[in-house]
Amino acid sequence: MGVIPNYSGILVHDFWATYFMYDCQHSLCNAHIMRELVGIVDGYKQNWAGKMKTLFEDVYDYIFVQNKRNPVRLTEFEKAYQNILDEGFGENPPPPDHLTCKKRGRKKRSKPANLLRRLDGYREDILRFMYNAVVPFTNNLAERDVRMMKVQQKISGTFRSVEGAEIFCRIRGYISTVRKNGKSVYEALKRLAEGNPFTVQDLMAE
């Protein structure tokens, strides 16, 4: 649609490889990573995954709840991150060559091993939120914005016209914008019905 290809900011997303083809900075959604960590704890009983999840929770609390970013403390978090990775790699050593040498292509790795490699190789993108105040911890805000579109598709299957889809998107975009600016959705819709909707200038002025 011409949005992401022309985007030059920081793109927050899950680890879908196609996103990395775009020429911008990237930040990985940590809610997705934490769900994977829970899956590894439940399915593989590996201690490092539980420790990493707890570390993410502690960092989130420090930055977004306590609203602190002391460089010394952030360095301590990074050291803890590395220590947990080291423990994880110890729990997931690479398979011996003789078990895979007869097969072509890449060696098959377990889910814990794949996540460890991602946490290690993409740590700058994963931890970008620690050092850049405009980067969120997850991409949940974007997912919430498109959720009602998916609900509409689930209920009706599709829109009956392009015009109907555009109207739906305009209304949902308006609701999302006023909610993000701390306004009442009821009041916003009431003003819309009266022909006096909130404008961007109104929201920025307040």
Nearest residue to 36 via CA among 22, 25, 50 = 50
pLDDT at 51: 98
Whether 16 shows a pLDDT value over 70: the answer reads: yes
pLDDT at 49: 98
pLDDT band, residue 106 (cuts 50/70/90): low
Contact indicator for 46, 113 with CB cutoff of 8 Å? no
Q: What is the mean pLDDT of residues 169-173?
A: 89
Q: What is the mean pLDDT of residues 18-36?
A: 95
pLDDT at 103: 59
Q: What is the DSSP letter of 94?
A: P
pLDDT at 157: 77
pLDDT at 57: 98
Whether 14 shows a pLDDT value over 60: the answer reads: yes
Which three-class secondary structure state does DSSP give residue 26? strand
**Choice between 155 and 31, residue whose per-residue pLDDT is larger:** 31
Which three-class secondary structure state does DSSP give residue 28? strand
Dihedral (C-alpha) 59, 62, 67, 68: value to the nearest 10 degrees? Answer: -100
Integer Cα distance of 43 and 49 in angstroms: 11
pTM, whole model, 2 decimals? 0.78
**Buried b vs exposed e over 136-151: b needs ≥16 C-beta within 10 Å?**
bbbbeeeeebeeeeee
The model's pLDDT over 131-169, given as tens digits with 9 standing for 90+, comes to 999 999 999 887 788 888 888 878 877 788 899 888 988
Whether 90 shows a pLDDT value over 60: the answer reads: yes
Alpha carbon of 117 to those of 93, 112, 123, 167: distances in Å?
12, 9, 10, 44
Q: What is the DSSP letter of 57?
A: H
**Choice between 82 and 7, residue whose per-residue pLDDT is larger:** 82
Any idea which residue has 């916003």 for tokens? 188
Contact indicator for 107, 94 with CB cutoff of 8 Å? yes
Integer Cα distance of 93 and 98 in angstroms: 14
Q: What is the mean pLDDT of residues 75-97?
A: 93
pLDDT at 1: 72
pLDDT band, residue 99 (cuts 50/70/90): low
Integer Cα distance of 140 and 129 in angstroms: 14
Alpha carbon of 1 to those of 7, 83, 185: distances in Å?
12, 42, 29
pLDDT at 91: 95
Nearest residue to 132 via CA among 74, 82, 181 = 74
Whether 97 shows a pLDDT value over 70: the answer reads: no
Average pLDDT along the chain: 90
Any idea which residue has 């949902």 for tokens? 172
